[in-house]
């Protein structure tokens, strides 16, 4: 979701971006996820003409999606802090 | 080098996807298939040279159709499918249950078999139903034959004389009947009444549990649809 915070993107772009991070091993699983986000109203889609092929479906965050992303970021930051803390405890002792 | 079997490979993949997704709501299924088709087209356009191997790689990276469908299934199910008549987990009770309830007091063995075969009751209720129906009325006769004499023996301790007066009223005079025998008599009468009613009460209880069970299962089906 963070990948479409600033600018709408189409699925293949997202897959390429995630592929670079090594987070996505089976590309197909992104589609059910996107479709779920859409049904939950967290992203909205729009078809746009492409210069080199058939129209593409672009994904964009909704206002609700933005809120969910911010909430997740906060949760993640505190979760990461907690895990880091425990790991550091482990190395100290 | 060209991909001689590109279309065959892609069609085969999409066909597998369609089969795997057969139980998904059609809107979800069609969207998934459309997404895959678009994805494959995008990926093909990016390959400088297309061979069967590049097509196979594209499909490999997409993942197993079964896995994609599993991913799509983790969530339900738009509302309409929740209203479909075939709720998984909702068991419609029928002739089996009626048979069990009716036969339990009379042909106990068959009733119990039906009771245990039916999925409409919980194991606890099946155990209760089997024990408290007391073997049905045939079973009660057998139990009565074995233990009845003792009860009679207990209650025949006092000597009673009946006399009819001039008005035709029957009076019964009992002599030297100890209190414990009176209690015993009352208890044994109560016991006989309870024993005779128990198979019927058990059937009624099971009938009520049957309805409750259906409601509970319906509720579970709803929760599953809501939470998965």
What pLDDT is recorded for position B110?
A: 85
Number of residues assigned to chain B: 228
Q: CB contact, 8 Å: B39 with chain A?
A: yes
- The separation between the first and the last C-alpha atoms of chain A, rounded to the nearest angstrom, is 38
Lookup: tokens for B32:
């998934």
Sort strands A9-10 and B159-164 into parallel, antiparallel or unpaired.
Answer: unpaired
Instruction: Show the low-confidence residues of chain A (pLDDT under 50).
Output: none
Structure token pair of residue B130: 């089997």
| Cβ atoms of residues A88 and A36 within 8 Å | no
**Is ipTM beyond 0.85?**
no
What's the rounded Cα separation, in Å, for the pair B23 and B51?
Answer: 34
Of A11, A15, A36, nearest to B75 by CB-CB distance is: A36
Which pLDDT value is given to residue A4?
81
Considering only CB atoms, A31 lies closest to which of B35, B74, B78, namely B35
Residue B18, pLDDT score? 92
Higher pLDDT, B223 or A81: A81
Q: Which two tokens stand for residue B215?
A: 């409601």
Q: What are phi and psi of B49, to 5 degrees?
A: -135, 130
Residues 6+ apart with CB under 8 A from B158: B174, B175, B176, B177, B178, B181
CA distance A29 to A31: 5
Give whichever of A3-7, B176-180, B217-221 has the largest mean pLDDT: A3-7
> CA B65, CA B71: separation in Å to the nearest integer?
10
Chain B residues close to A28, C-beta within 8 Å: 36, 39, 61-63, 67-68, 71
Scored b (16 or more CB within 10 A) or e, A4-16 reads beeebbbbbbbbe
């Amino acid at each position: 979701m963070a990948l479409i915070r600033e600018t709408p993107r189409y699925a293949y772009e997202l897959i390429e971006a995630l592929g670079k991070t090594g987070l996505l091993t089976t590309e197909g699983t992104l589609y059910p996820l996107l479709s779920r986000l859409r049904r939950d109203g967290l992203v909205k889609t729009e078809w746009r003409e492409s210069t080199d092929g058939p129209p593409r479906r672009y994904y964009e965050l909704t206002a609700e999606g933005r809120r969910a992303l911010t909430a997740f970021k906060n949760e993640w930051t505190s979760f990461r802090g907690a895990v880091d803390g425990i790991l550091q405890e482990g190395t100290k002792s | 080098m060209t991909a001689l079997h590109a279309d065959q490979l892609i069609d085969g993949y999409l066909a597998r996807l369609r089969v795997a997704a057969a139980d998904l709501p059609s809107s979800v299924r069609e969207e998934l298939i459309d997404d895959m088709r678009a994805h494959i087209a995008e990926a093909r356009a990016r390959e400088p040279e297309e061979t069967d191997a590049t097509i196979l790689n594209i499909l490999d990276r997409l993942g197993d159709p079964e896995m994609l469908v599993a991913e799509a299934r983790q969530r339900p199910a738009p509302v309409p499918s929740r209203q479909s008549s075939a709720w998984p987990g909702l068991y419609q009770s029928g002739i089996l249950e009626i048979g069990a309830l009716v036969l339990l007091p009379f042909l106990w063995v068959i009733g119990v078999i039906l009771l245990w075969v039916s999925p409409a009751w919980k194991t606890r209720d099946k155990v209760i139903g089997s024990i408290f129906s007391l073997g049905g009325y045939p079973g009660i006769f057998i139990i009565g034959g074995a233990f009845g004499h003792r009860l009679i023996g207990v209650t025949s301790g006092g000597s009673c004389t009946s006399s009819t007066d001039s008005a035709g009223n029957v009076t019964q005079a009992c002599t030297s009947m100890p209190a414990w025998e009176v209690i015993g008599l009352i208890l044994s009468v109560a016991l006989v009444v309870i024993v005779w009613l128990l198979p019927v009460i058990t059937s009624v209880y099971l009938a009520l549990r049957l309805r409750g069970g259906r409601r509970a299962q319906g509720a579970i089906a709803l929760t599953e649809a809501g939470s998965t």
